[in-house]
Structure 1
Amino acid sequence: MSPPIAPAGWSRWLVPPAALSVHLSIGQAYAWSVFKPPLESALGLSGTQSALPFQLAIVMLGLSAAFGGTLVERNGPRWAMTVALVCFSSGFLISALGAATEQYWLIVLGYGFVGGIGLGIGYISPVSTLIKWFPDRPGMATGIAIMGFGGGALIASPWSARMLESFGTDHSGIALAFLVHGLSYAVFMTLGVLLVRVPRPAERTAGDAGTPAAATGEGVSAAVAVRTPQFWCLWVVLCMNVTAGIGILEKAAPMITDFFADTSTPVSVTAAAGFVALLSAANMAGRIGWSTTSDLIGRKNIYRVYLGVGAAMYAVIALLGDASKPVFVLCALVILSFYGGGFATIPAYLKDLFGTYQVGAIHGRLLTAWSTAGVLGPLIVNWIADRQEEAGRHGADLYSLSLFIMIGLLAVGFVANELVRPVAPRHRVAAPKEAADVPARQQPESA
């Protein structure tokens, strides 16, 4: 599938909506916690077991992004979005079959493995294209698109909760909810596939005078980038920031319920789903707000905020969270805004260090940090909570140790960010012409 070239007069502002249609869909992953209690009840699962599809999905996200990053660069965003559509929607359909037949391994296979591939390819599909369309504001551009991934749960969480109320929380109701998800997202993601375009080479975008359509020139190849200390420092930064956020996000609904279970104002199932939606809103707002801020104050400074202030917010939750719902919710919202901002800012950080040449492939390789964090975060929170529950503890005590571990991880990420230095000039090469230009036979006749 050849990359679709933008015709003369095409506005670059049509590209972010194309990216959003994909990212809002695959962002459903952040609403997985809504399905955890029904699955645990219907199929007799523990909290750790019910987290497995989500964990595997995040692992596959990182792996498919790493291995597919070069293919995305080569084949273009439309090919990548099509692959994402097929895999993500098929994952839900397989999961629906698993729930209907009470075969949990099919849910793990469908949502976790097949759907996870769709997550990874879909996540990186617009990044390189957006940076080339918006070389003047890379943080804002990637933030616009990637905020959709954070905001997907804002739609999916209440939507999923309402479906489970209507269809039932037994295995057949869960199966029907999975089926509706798969079909609906297939339609919505098709909009992005049809709309996306890549910039015309060596020209400026019509209607956006003074803005290069495609940023090319010197850069670092993906093969060289992964051998630099800068890459691995950013790997640690992303891994620590994601681990700290994803542990709460994956278990958000049961966590807020447990924190206030022994108080005079317990949290209902509906309110817990609303909390997940609020976290999604913070995740989404952080992706566009903080990444845009990074264009003004710099990438290293914004990560100092994510990691340093984030650790302080965790300390407040650990020490005071169960004493006040507003304090718990506010701190969680700040943490999730930093979590989302970290994702949206990292492509621009990579562009600053390594250039635009193969930045999509480098970004894909860096997302293996997300795979690692996708296992570590939920494992730490769920495993410790299960052990504490077995020991007879309840309420906020289920999570205190996990929260202090997250503070330590953020401190490690803070140090790694401080170690980031500019990439040595010897690693940079001139981008090959074929990487910057589109063959003449692909140019529109009206060019």
Structure 2
Amino acid sequence: MEKVKNRWLIAASAVGIHISIGSVYAYSVMTLPLKELHGWQKSDITMAFSLAILFLGFSAAFLGRSVEKMGPRKSGRLAAIFYSCGIMGSGLAVKIGSLPLFLLCYGVIGGIGLGVGYITPVSTLVKWFPDRRGLATGMAIMGFGFAAMIFGPIMAKLFLVMDIWKVYFLLGAIYFCLIFGSSLYIAPPPAGWLPPGYSAAASESGRKVIKKDLAQLTVAEALRTRRFYCMWVMLFINITCGIALISVASPMAQEVVGLSPMQAAAMVGLMGLFNGGGRIGWASFSDYLGRARTYMAFFIIQVFAFLALTKTTNPLFFQCLIFIILTCYGGGFSTLPAFLGDMFGTKQLGTIHGYELTAWGLAGMVGPSIVTRVLEATGSYSATLYIFAGFLTFALAVTFFLAHDLRLKRQFYAQQAAQEAS
């Protein structure tokens, strides 16, 4: 018999992939060096980041079926090739001073690598951890949140001691080795595998029972359900509000509560810590609280936090509110795969997850745009914060509707099973 892999090493491999691609969150470190080197406009430089997030979402959706067919090992290698080529291609663009080539390499090619790499380990982890789905996906996606804390200082140091284009080639090589190496161990569990001490049926005494998924649906079947679109709206609003706040956190802290530039920079660094910590904390908590209740908690907390931000002038309280919002922002990402597995099963979870991530791609464009436009029109952050509080209230209503729909579906399937048994 083939030896069963260690599922905790599978999780560690997933973390390796996500730490590598999550370095995209350290993108702001590149902005000033590129501006000083070539005189590119800041808006043009940040467009590469927006394109990368956009292509992350849409490549995860449209390549999801291929990733499912290839399996996690081959798709991990594909992610390594695309992401490292995107980063190295960006280095070539920097060397010759071509902004269009930079946008193509970092935004499009690198973005495709991000999308493939993001969904590669998730559906596999869900299958290895049917007993603790939230913890498993939280561990992997935690890596994405913590990556900026790891690679941000490394990038900043490298830009001081090396030519900028050489830094991109070095980073591309590092990312390739990390992603490719991590993908070598990832594989789905054997058919019918269950964690020690667990049983698929309640008939075996003394063994815990794995909770059954609501249904086992293909992506085509999932797309015909209300649950899919409720989840998309919830994810879109959570990301739109969170990523918008991230985009203006430093200037907002300086202008609203009077933090110095260095204090604001320290706050931004801590935001990465709470973003990553929220990913594993909330996702693990959802194993006990339930996914729908966890999302309700996200939106209730954020509504009050965004409203409180409009009133506070205390620097410490302001930062605490920002950190709380960031935990909910990160938790929304990490709880999502487990929630999708509960609702749609694991048959085509990677593809379904990919389609849901189109919300991320659009939110990455919409959130910062709303902030800048409202700020230019009103000259105040308060109007934007009220708008986002309204969005989050709507998302909370959608979550209540989804929870009600799930209860009705469970009752329906239970009645069906009872009728078949009789």
- In 2, Cα distance between equivalents of 1:188 and 1:286: 24
Q: For 1:210, which of 168, 182, 198 is the aligned residue?
A: 198
Residue by residue over 1:307-330, the C-alpha shift from the partner in whole angstroms, topping out at 9 and shown as x without a partner, is 12112222233332xx33322322
Partner of 1:93: 88
- Cα offset, 1:37, TM superposition: 3.5
Structure 1 residues 328 and 31: CA distance shift in structure 2, 3 A: farther
Q: For 2:115, which of 120, 127, 138 is the aligned residue?
A: 120
Residue type of the partner of 2:230?
A: C
Asked whether the 8 Å contact 1:158–1:273 carries over to 2, the reply is no
Q: For 1:277, which of 246, 254, 269 is the aligned residue?
A: 269
- In 2, Cα distance between equivalents of 1:317 and 1:144: 30
Residue type of the partner of 1:95?
A: S
- Give the secondary structure class of the aligned counterpart of 1:107: helix
Asked whether the 8 Å contact 1:47–1:382 carries over to 2, the reply is no
Q: For 1:317, which of 302, 309, 326 is the aligned residue?
A: 309
Structure 1 residues 306 and 47: CA distance shift in structure 2, 3 A: farther
Residue by residue over 1:139-182, the C-alpha shift from the partner in whole angstroms, topping out at 9 and shown as x without a partner, is 11111111111111111222222223434xxxxx4433323321
Residue type of the partner of 1:410?
A: L
Partner of 1:136: 131
After TM superposition, the structure 1 = structure 2 runs for residues 374-413 of structure 1, keeping only pairs within 5 Å, are 374-385=364-375, 387=376, 397=380, 399-413=381-395
Structure 1 residues 272 and 114: CA distance shift in structure 2, 3 A: farther
- Cα offset, 1:196, TM superposition: 1.2
Partner of 1:16: 11
Asked whether the 8 Å contact 1:34–1:253 carries over to 2, the reply is no
- Give the secondary structure class of the aligned counterpart of 1:190: helix
- In 2, Cα distance between equivalents of 1:104 and 1:74: 36
Residue type of the partner of 1:405?
A: I
Partner of 1:437: none
- Give the secondary structure class of the aligned counterpart of 1:219: coil
After TM superposition, the structure 1 = structure 2 runs for residues 57-72 of structure 1, keeping only pairs within 5 Å, are 57-72=52-67
Residue range with higher mean Cα deviation, 334-343 or 408-417: 408-417
Asked whether the 8 Å contact 2:243–2:367 carries over to 1, the reply is yes
Structure 1 residues 425 and 369: CA distance shift in structure 2, 3 A: same
Structure 1 residues 354 and 258: CA distance shift in structure 2, 3 A: same
- Cα offset, 1:405, TM superposition: 2.6
- Cα offset, 1:107, TM superposition: 1.9
Aligned length: 401
Asked whether the 8 Å contact 1:219–1:357 carries over to 2, the reply is yes
After TM superposition, the structure 1 = structure 2 runs for residues 357-436 of structure 1, keeping only pairs within 5 Å, are 357-385=347-375, 387=376, 397=380, 399-420=381-402, 421-422=405-406, 424=409
- In 2, Cα distance between equivalents of 1:287 and 1:211: 29
- Cα offset, 1:184, TM superposition: 1.5
Structure 1 residues 79 and 374: CA distance shift in structure 2, 3 A: same
Asked whether the 8 Å contact 2:26–2:151 carries over to 1, the reply is yes
- In 2, Cα distance between equivalents of 1:19 and 1:311: 33
Residue type of the partner of 1:407?
A: A
Asked whether the 8 Å contact 1:87–1:117 carries over to 2, the reply is yes
- Give the secondary structure class of the aligned counterpart of 1:241: helix
- Cα offset, 1:369, TM superposition: 0.8
Residue range with higher mean Cα deviation, 142-151 or 350-359: 350-359
- Give the secondary structure class of the aligned counterpart of 1:136: coil
Deviation beyond 6 Å, 4+ runs, structure 1: 214-217, 425-428
Partner of 1:339: 329
Partner of 1:248: 245
Asked whether the 8 Å contact 1:154–1:276 carries over to 2, the reply is no
- Give the secondary structure class of the aligned counterpart of 2:184: helix
- Give the secondary structure class of the aligned counterpart of 1:15: helix
- In 2, Cα distance between equivalents of 1:8 and 1:328: 52
- Cα offset, 1:224, TM superposition: 1.1
- In 2, Cα distance between equivalents of 1:93 and 1:194: 22
After TM superposition, the structure 1 = structure 2 runs for residues 259-298 of structure 1, keeping only pairs within 5 Å, are 259=256, 263=258, 266-268=260-262, 272-298=264-290
Residue by residue over 1:323-346, the C-alpha shift from the partner in whole angstroms, topping out at 9 and shown as x without a partner, is 333223222211111111000111
Q: For 1:238, which of 235, 256, 263 is the aligned residue?
A: 235
- Give the secondary structure class of the aligned counterpart of 2:346: coil
Structure 1 residues 406 and 146: CA distance shift in structure 2, 3 A: same
- Cα offset, 1:22, TM superposition: 0.5
- Give the secondary structure class of the aligned counterpart of 1:347: helix
Partner of 2:157: 162
Residue type of the partner of 2:383?
A: L
- In 2, Cα distance between equivalents of 1:94 and 1:383: 32
Q: Does 1:82 align with 2:77?
A: yes
Q: Does 1:227 align with 2:233?
A: no
Residue by residue over 1:398-435, the C-alpha shift from the partner in whole angstroms, topping out at 9 and shown as x without a partner, is x443333322222222122111112748999xxxxxxx
- In 1, Cα distance between equivalents of 2:164 and 2:79: 23
- Give the secondary structure class of the aligned counterpart of 1:35: helix
TM-score of the superposed pair, with normalisation by structure 1: 0.82
- Give the secondary structure class of the aligned counterpart of 2:190: coil
Asked whether the 8 Å contact 2:4–2:189 carries over to 1, the reply is no
- Cα offset, 1:76, TM superposition: 0.7
- In 1, Cα distance between equivalents of 2:48 and 2:182: 26
Partner of 2:296: 304
- In 2, Cα distance between equivalents of 1:380 and 1:41: 28
Tell me how large the CA RMSD over aligned residues is. 2.7
Residue range with higher mean Cα deviation, 251-260 or 46-55: 251-260
**Structure 1 alignment gaps of length 5 or more:** 1-5, 168-172, 429-447
